[in-house]
Structure 1
Amino acid sequence: MNYTNINNKKLRELMKEDVLLIDIRNKDEYEEKRIQNSINIQLHDLLYNIDEIEEYKDKKVIIYCRSGHRSITACNLLVMQGFKHIYNLEKGIINYKL
């Protein structure tokens, strides 16, 4: 495992920095509720859209989904693509609080 699991408190700390926040849920889920400043790249489209986020390979990237399961897959895919600082929001947006 080359990514770090984080909780809400750590998420708030990281969001004060230059980070990329990716919601990997489907568009309907994203429209219903999302974390501010996140972008939506669905899990099944992640590898096809990797060039869109290539500039973040050496920066911090936070991934979240509904409950924290799909985001683990996304984290692993990004690590395999050479991304260095990947964070998974544990328990996803279900447990998210501002």
Structure 2
Amino acid sequence: MRGAWACAALAALVVAALSGGCTGGEEPTTVRDLSVEEAHALIEERGDDPSFVILDVRTRDEYVAGHIEGAINLDYYDRSFAAAVGALDPGDTYLVYCRSGVRSAAAIDIMVKKGFSDLYNLEGGTVAWTAAGYPLA
């Protein structure tokens, strides 16, 4: 029984740390995976808001071949990626995407560690985006 209590206590600590509960009152981190439809709705709703950023973490060649309109490009594979992310405003809201959702999830992990608090991951990336019939610029 003692092991169950230890696991419960550890789980509570992890939840508190991830939600900002152990950071002295800082804003909690919100990370959500969005379906293509949810991401499209978010872009429609917030697209003109300067504090809303669409972040493409694919390579420059992938970005040039086609990207979600309005997206900025920071290549996750570039050695300077973490530094480039550090230059962004952690108080803004970010919709992060890649080709399939793997790099964007990893990029979001880096962003969380750098203090970003409002992050969305496009599930399935541009593969799902185009399969749903949405265009790339």
Give the % identical residues. Answer: 27
- The separation in 2 between residues aligned to 1:51 and 1:82, in whole angstroms, is 9
Q: Aligned residue for 2:41?
A: 13
8 Å contact from structure 2 (residues 86, 114) kept in 1: no
Paired position in structure 1 for 2:82: 47
Structure index of larger Rg: 2
75-84 or 2-11, larger mean C-alpha shift: 2-11
Q: How big is the alpha-carbon RMSD for the aligned residues of Structure 1 and Structure 2?
A: 1.5
Are 2:57 and 2:73, in contact at CA under 8 Å, matched by a contact in 1?
yes
Aligned residues: 96
TM-score by length of 2: 0.65
**Larger RCO (CA under 8 A, 6+ residues apart):** 1
**Match among 89, 92, 96 for residue 63 of structure 1:** 96
Structure 1 or 2: more strand by fraction: 1
Tell me what 2:25 maps to.
none
Where structure 1 has 5 or more consecutive residues not aligned to the other structure, the ranges are none
TM-score by length of 1: 0.88
- Deviation (angstroms), 1:52: 3.4
Q: How far apart are residue 12 of structure 1 and its match?
A: 1.7
Partner of 1:80: 113
Q: Distance in 2 between matches of 1:51 and 1:77?
A: 9
User: Which of 58, 61, 65 is 1:28 aligned to?
Assistant: 61
